[in-house]
């Protein structure tokens, strides 16, 4: 039977990312895999604003660390033996499949489906779509809050 060893889940605070996290916990437990949590701060989104408010980067980092701490506690309480967490900076589309996935030797990347409308997908594309195209391992895009059986 094939087993995953290193599961990587991308979380951003959205409900879809929370569903992805919950499924990743179950998959990591079933496979006795390491669970790697990543929160990517998209520096492009606040570069212009930061000129006026330098605390934005600090607040974004604190939010990411707090989010990961809560998820790590929840995963450990659920029985996942090895949980690692990373706050990264840059474009999530690139950082998740190229940098973090290689760093943790991910054999499965899990992320939530985006809530973009058709025009937004056309103009910028979704993070999950880019991860699917760029990853060198299996990718699970979570669309529902139904627990994995």
Domain annotation for the chain: domains and CATH numbers: 6-142 (3.40.50.620)
Matching residue, tokens 């979704």: 126
Burial class (CB in 10 A: 0-12, 13-18, 19+), 57: middle
Give the pLDDT confidence score for residue 55 in this predicted structure: 80
Give the pLDDT confidence score for residue 113 in this predicted structure: 84
Strand order across the 83-89 sheet: 83-89, 34-41, 6-10, 108-112, 138-142
SS3 state of residue 68: helix
Element (H, E) at 76: helix 55-77
Say if CB 131 and CB 97 are below 8 A apart.
yes
Element (H, E) at 139: strand 138-142
Which portions of the chain are predicted below pLDDT 50? 123-124, 148-149
SS3 state of residue 100: helix
Which pair of tokens denotes residue 108?
């499965």
Residue 94 CB contacts under 8 Å (≥ 6 apart), including other chains: 130, 134
């Amino acid at each position: 039977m094939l087993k995953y060893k290193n599961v990587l889940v991308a979380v951003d605070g959205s409900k879809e990312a929370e569903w992805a996290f919950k499924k990743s916990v179950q998959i990591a437990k079933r496979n006795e895999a390491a669970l790697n949590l990543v929160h990517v701060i998209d520096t492009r989104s606040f570069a212009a604003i930061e000129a006026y408010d330098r605390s934005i980067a600090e607040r974004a980092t604190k939010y990411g660390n707090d989010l990961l701490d809560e998820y790590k506690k929840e995963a450990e309480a659920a029985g996942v033996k090895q949980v690692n967490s990373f706050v990264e900076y840059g474009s999530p589309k690139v950082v998740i499949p190229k940098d973090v996935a290689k760093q943790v030797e991910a054999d499965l990347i899990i992320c939530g489906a985006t809530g973009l409308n058709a025009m937004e997908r056309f103009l910028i594309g979704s993070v999950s779509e880019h991860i699917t195209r760029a990853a060198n391992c299996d990718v699970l895009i979570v669309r529902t809050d139904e627990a994995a059986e």
